[in-house]
Structure 1
């Protein structure tokens, strides 16, 4: 398959979210407790199911169902977890909508604890299918809001 123009290069968009909850607890949710995300962000994330592997192991595959801009979408991803650096990546394998515009798509979360709370850096790495496809800004905003929902949920516990 030939690739040309902007579609040939990896691009990124990033955001950083300040969190008030315990950073280690939030990291656990986004690394190996994905089943808790629909409880925290039920208006956005409807279901997460293990497709291959389990909840806790790098290389496991999960299928997410969520609503973005009024559309129900799916996202099948392969997770990689780096416990030492508090880093998690979700690489798109299949998905309705997100892979309509992107040849490749990966979400990377990096949690940085502070004495109270911390930060979550969200990076979306992607390759456009077509030069005029927009950057995945709506997906980045969606992920920022999911992290905020998880943070608020953890503060209530």
Structure 2
């Protein structure tokens, strides 16, 4: 089997009620507040180097995946406020024990249709596994879906 089978991409869309700008702003400029929305999934997000929302910034995440506490360090590779897009490249941590590369892109778009309210969060994970015995990251995609729903509930709850 060709080594290219080790590379892959998983994607999903999550419909939310919050605006694209609200959701994007949380992940881009205030990820250290995410634990308020989903502390059972995201324990902490700490600025390691740089400024929130800027390309080249390095961020440390503490999160729970498959019932286990995990850590990951990522670098912000791209930020496009006009498209409500941000890309993170994982550089250290638990994920790097299984993946040679792991890049997460999050883009939020207005929901099309008659209602005109709400958004669609599009998550893309592009990765290369270290070997065939490592699972594709579907459970991490599910974590992204769950975090999206929790964050949406947090952003849209009445004050």
Question: What TM-score do the two structures reach when normalised by structure 2?
Answer: 0.90
Matched residues in 2 for 1:9 and 1:142: separation?
21
Does the aligned pair in 2 maintain the 1:7–1:128 contact within 8 Å? no
> How many residues align structurally?
153
Please name the residue that 2:25 is paired with. Answer: 28
The runs of 5 or more residues in structure 1 that have no matched partner are: none
Query: Which deviations, in whole Å up to 9, do the C-alpha atoms of 1:41-82 show, x marking residues without a partner?
Result: 111100110001011211100000011122110010011211
SS of the residue corresponding to residue 51 of structure 2 reads coil
Question: Is 1:91 equivalent to 2:89 in the alignment?
Answer: yes
Verify the 8 A CA contact 1:7 1:131 in the aligned structure 2: no
Alignment partner, residue 113 of structure 1: 110
SS at match of 2:128: strand
In the alignment, structure 2 segments of 5+ residues that lack a partner are none
TM-score with structure 1 length normalisation?
0.91
CA RMSD of aligned residues (A): 1.6
8 A contact 1:7–1:130 mirrored in 2: no
Alignment match, 2:80:
82
For the residue of structure 1 that corresponds to 2:56, the secondary structure is coil
